[in-house]
Amino acid sequence: MMKFRFRRQGADPQREKLKQELFAFHKTVEHGFPNQPSALAFDPELRIMAIGTRSGAVKIYGAPGVEFTGLHRDAATVTQMHFLPGQGRLLTLLDDSSLHLWEVVHHNGCAHLEEALHHQPPSRPGFDGASGLPSLARITVVLLVAAGDLAALGTEGGSVFFLDVPTLTLLEGQTLGPDEVLRSVPDDYRCGKALGPVESLQGHLRDPTKILIGYSRGLLVIWNRAARCADRIFLGNQQLESVCWERSGRTLVSSHSDGSYAVWATDTGDSPTTQPTVATTPYGPFPCKAISKILWRNCASGEHFIVFSGGMPRASYGDRHCVSVLQAETLVTLDFTSRVIDFFTVHSTRPEDEFDEPQALAVLLEEELVVLDLQTPGWPAVPAPYLAPLHSSAITCSAHVANVPAKLWARIVSAGEQQNPQPASGASSWPITGGRNLAQEPTQRGLLLTGHEDGTVRFWDASGVALRPLYKLSTAGLFQTDCEHADSLAQAAEDDWPPFRKVGCFDPYSDDPRLGVQKVALCKYTAQMVVAGTAGQVLVLELSDEPSDQAVGVASVDLLQDREGFTWKGHERLSPRTGPLPWPAGFQPRALVQCLPPAAVTAVTLHAEWGLVAFGTSHGFGLFDYLRRSPVLARCTLHPNDSLAMEGPLSRVKSLKKSLRQSFRRIRKSRVSGKKRLTAASSKLQEANAQLAEQAGPHDVEVTPVQRRIEPRSADDSLSGVVRCLYFADTFLRDAAHHGPTMWAGTNSGSVFAYALEVPAAAANSDRRPERAVEAVLGKEVQLMHRAPVVAVAVLDGRGRPLPEPYEASRDLAQAPDMQGGHAVLIASEEQFKVFTLPKVSAKTKFKLTAHEGCRVRKVALATFASVACEDYAETCLACLTNLGDVHVFSVPGLRPQVHYACIRKEDISGIASCVFTRHGQGFYLISPSEFERFSLSARNITEPLCSLDISWPRDAMRARPQESPKLSQANGTPGVVLGPQSRSGSPDPTRSEGTDTPELPEATLSPTSVDSATSADTTLDTTGDVTVEDVKDFLGSSEESEKNLRNLSEDEARACPILIG
């Protein structure tokens, strides 16, 4: 007989309204460096820069906080981009030869980047007999002429077509074919050879009727569009790569495939010119690689700049990625660690100026953006306020710290400035300064910490739209690595020629994989932190404003506890350096704890008020008193069959046969047992279906969904002893009358260990522990029925609120917890959430997520959600991310589902594993190795771009154009319509873009818990997010309204107007 549970009819409208005021899902901004960049553009008038990617994304950047993103409908590579100067419009060329016109448009007080027009040139094989025009083959180069109203398109067939940019239509009768050019070339140069593709098109700064055309064969032609004739011809014989026309028009420079460049004079000699005035191979005489791009910039001093990429000696340095800067006798070869995509100089582009006077050089690489100050001696690199490569070393973990005190913030910034001292010259400033950031200054500061494969921890300012690097902590200096001797030999063997100079911070190679950072924890009130690594090393550090020389105490903790039958087969521990070591200002190590065996640390937590740090691996967990520098506790969690935990990550291949054998045994067992149960199960199912059909159930009552059966996990599963979470709490464990310090540990096999701690009271007021040591006694041990891995543990006070962080209650920084009512402990496993009363540990309430939704929990955090309607109202809820990429929010302590959203594609396993929640309802996850996607679950705390851009529209900018269907895709590939923030009056709502979390509310006294899932396997099935009908209607409505407003504007108004970018 099937059981029905009846619920209340319908939903509570009051609660539904409150949910709308508390929860809302937004993907707001992408932090970091664009993945796989392919094109670069710069608008010298607006001082904004655009980057295109291989996935079809277009990202525009200005001053810090000024940025917005667009995405082409087709996921094609962006090959070229060109700004229409001063108009806020961008012309893009894709690898399918399609052209797209983007512009900043205004919608109800907010603006965004949208595709206005697109054009797919017709592809005609052979010749068109009707018109006699050559075929329009693949477009190789684009040139904007006549202030951007006209574009010249060079093709692979050697023709040049002309395009009307405002309408993106080809102009008939103006096509320049290769035959027309060959008529002006001497007969002996033709020799029956074709000119080849158009490699370069350059415009004259002062005479827009003249175009410099460079063909692959080496021919250079200055073509007069008005007279339709060639003014001058330069007969080059070397395969052409790039051409640059000097601003006065009297000189042009060409680069070639053999690593040479040539300088041609346009105002002397007869036409055609056969010999250049200067021809040189800078890195000859041996064969060199091609110079793919070259720039010529003149100066008032007479010492012009020549900047080119490539040209390195093929045999010796053919694998280097270089850009060379030459001025008079000074040559610097900038040596990068990733491929050069493109580069530009920031210089004067006004026609009335006689000289370029370059200020900066910006080089876009495959993995980073580097800007050099050309006005300061030595040409130093300019630190980037954004677009920093998050993946300079691969990210291995991340953590977020909200509401950082101003004093700690200033100390971290000061330590970072001492790491990268800036030159005294005031010219060394970021040159991309277009637009204005209209977002209010954040009232609270947020830190994003990222641990990396090379043993570094980077501190990022995550308070606003621009993710700014603050400080870098390196732990490698404490250990002896294997690569130091090889590095010194390589540096000694480096020659003086070419004059290489290492530039950029992208370094994908790690000295030793054991240095990798696995877990990070920071106490923002005492400036103490813990960094745990791959080889079982646990570092306790403290922030110091002055450099120091000191030795670091080392302690070892044996987590096996002399258990027999286990032999570690993994990597060796790292060898620490002995004696006093120099430490710069910043976080300096105070103690090093080495776990034995040296397995990767899977969980860590810090309680600075008690002077304790807890850590866990795949073998067990330990507790360390870093004030007395002595171990307190070591507990082995291994099961007798946990042989896989002893092999380490480098020897997993050895156990492949064993794991396959076990899998086949399980399959065989399930088939045998399934056959035995088949007859009985089928008869029972038929009886239940018959009874269900006979019953006439009520039609107006909600019925709970049928729960999926959860198979109990075997106790002898491999890696069952992995410690997944650790937690400190001051609560009731021994009895209901006395509360005290406790430590909780959850494992992969569904076990939870709770220890009562005896911490001497004097430790809270001094840095020295009294002689009496900290004691730990096992108080409770909980075994979950289905043995699901425990993801998180949190204790709730008498009011059902999470306990505050260390020092928050004692320093009156948060509301003191309720110690009068009964406490409860929330245990979150991969399959369900369950609340137990304390100290009896009896079940109070639960929610079976796997049974209801068919998913598994990957990340969990307690967060405070503030209301947009009432300043003083907030709720603390449980946010969780599942292996399907969905985010669920539950009430605490009732565990009632509130909302759920499709956040990450479930195929994106790395994105799900990298997700981290903040304590005010926001989150981050990696959408690529170099980019964090920021999202918000809160209706109030939203960090998104809000900025203005002063643009000058031409007279025909409001020309009618075909209506385009709205673009529903975001750059990260997740479907959804995301509009700019609006208040009810239609104006921008500045309260929604303050750039960070709100100040503490009475409810916001919690300790966030976010634990990585290190060993769980995800099931990858096909799923996508949903676009609701209401979203599409809202989007179409706003688009129609904006078109109506644009048509009402006067066509002859071309004044500059501020545009808001959301």
Residues 48-90 pLDDT 10s: 999 999 999 999 999 999 998 999 998 899 999 999 998 999 9
> Taking 70 as the threshold, does the pLDDT of residue 98 lie above it?
yes
Tell me the Cα Rg of the chain: 33
Q: How far apart are CA 135 and CA 178, in angstroms?
A: 11
Confidence band for 345, pLDDT divided at 50, 70 and 90: very high
Q: How far apart are CA 917 and CA 50, in angstroms?
A: 30
Confidence band for 972, pLDDT divided at 50, 70 and 90: very low
Q: How far apart are CA 172 and CA 686, in angstroms?
A: 76
Query: Of 798, 799, 777, 781, which Cα lies nearest the Cα of 790?
Result: 781
Quick one: pLDDT at residue 131? 41
Structure tokens at 1039: 């688009």
Quick one: pLDDT at residue 720? 87
Quick one: pLDDT at residue 553? 93
Confidence band for 1016, pLDDT divided at 50, 70 and 90: very low
- Give Cβ neighbours of residue 314 (< 8 Å, ≥ 6 apart): 259, 286, 287, 288, 289
Confidence band for 485, pLDDT divided at 50, 70 and 90: very low
- In degrees and rounded to multiples of 5, residue 947 shows phi and psi of -150, 170
Confidence band for 742, pLDDT divided at 50, 70 and 90: very high
Q: How far apart are CA 870 and CA 805, in angstroms?
A: 26
> Taking 50 as the threshold, does the pLDDT of residue 1038 lie above it?
no
Confidence band for 772, pLDDT divided at 50, 70 and 90: confident
- Give Cβ neighbours of residue 828 (< 8 Å, ≥ 6 apart): 790, 791, 792, 793, 794, 857, 860, 878, 880
Q: Which residues pair with 254 in a beta bridge?
A: 243, 262
CB of 113 closer than 8 Å to CB of 129:
no
Q: How far apart are CA 486 and CA 492, in angstroms?
A: 10
Quick one: pLDDT at residue 951? 81
CA atoms within 13 A on the CB side of 292: 12
Query: Of 230, 242, 234, 159, which Cα lies nearest the Cα of 200?
Result: 242
CB of 828 closer than 8 Å to CB of 793:
yes
pTM over 0.85: no
- Give Cβ neighbours of residue 583 (< 8 Å, ≥ 6 apart): 477, 544, 547, 548, 549, 550, 589
Q: Lowest-confidence range among 216-230, 606-620, 733-747, 762-776?
A: 762-776
- Give Cβ neighbours of residue 831 (< 8 Å, ≥ 6 apart): 710, 786, 788, 848, 849, 850, 851, 856, 857
Quick one: pLDDT at residue 710? 52
> Contacts from 349-352 at CB under 8 Å and sequence distance 24+?
349/44, 349/45, 349/85, 349/205, 351/205, 351/206
Q: How far apart are CA 860 and CA 1030, in angstroms?
A: 30
CB of 630 closer than 8 Å to CB of 615:
no
pLDDT tens digits, residue range 296-340?
Answer: 999 999 899 999 999 999 999 999 999 999 998 899 999 999 999
- Give Cβ neighbours of residue 935 (< 8 Å, ≥ 6 apart): 25, 26, 27, 28, 903, 922, 923, 924, 925
Structure tokens at 95: 């690898």
Average pLDDT, the chain: 82
Q: Lowest-confidence range among 60-64, 170-174, 562-566, 878-882?
A: 562-566
In eight-state DSSP terms, residue 646 is G
pLDDT tens digits, residue range 193-241?
Answer: 788 999 999 998 888 899 999 999 999 999 999 888 999 999 998 999 9
Average pLDDT over residues 359-367: 97
Q: Which residue has the higher pLDDT, 758 or 649?
A: 758
DSSP string, 536-593: SEEEEEEEESS-EEE--EEEEEESSTT-TT----SPPPPEEP-S-EEE-SEEEEEEEE
Quick one: pLDDT at residue 759? 92
What percent of the chain stands above pLDDT 70?
A: 77
**How far out from the chain centre does Cα 168 lie?**
34
Quick one: pLDDT at residue 187? 82
Pairing mode, strands 89-94 and 99-107: antiparallel
| Beta strands, E only, 249-315 | 251-256, 261-265, 278-280, 291-297, 305-310
> Taking 60 as the threshold, does the pLDDT of residue 704 lie above it?
no
Q: Lowest-confidence range among 14-18, 291-295, 871-875, 1058-1062?
A: 1058-1062
Query: Of 1061, 725, 741, 1009, which Cα lies nearest the Cα of 892?
Result: 1009
435-439, 789-793, 944-948, 1037-1041 — which one is most confidently predicted on average? 789-793
**How far out from the chain centre does Cα 450 lie?**
11
Quick one: pLDDT at residue 543? 97
Structure tokens at 305: 């700049």
Q: Using DSSP, state whether 450 is helix, strand or coil.
A: strand
173-187, 879-893, 1046-1060 — which one is most confidently predicted on average? 879-893
> Taking 80 as the threshold, does the pLDDT of residue 257 lie above it?
yes
Confidence band for 162, pLDDT divided at 50, 70 and 90: very high
Q: How many CB atoms lie within 10 A of CB 144?
A: 20
Q: How far apart are CA 704 and CA 6, in angstroms?
A: 8
Quick one: pLDDT at residue 68? 86
pLDDT tens digits, residue range 805-851?
Answer: 988 888 877 888 888 878 999 999 999 999 999 999 999 999 999 88
Q: How far apart are CA 653 and CA 631, in angstroms?
A: 34
Quick one: pLDDT at residue 963? 41
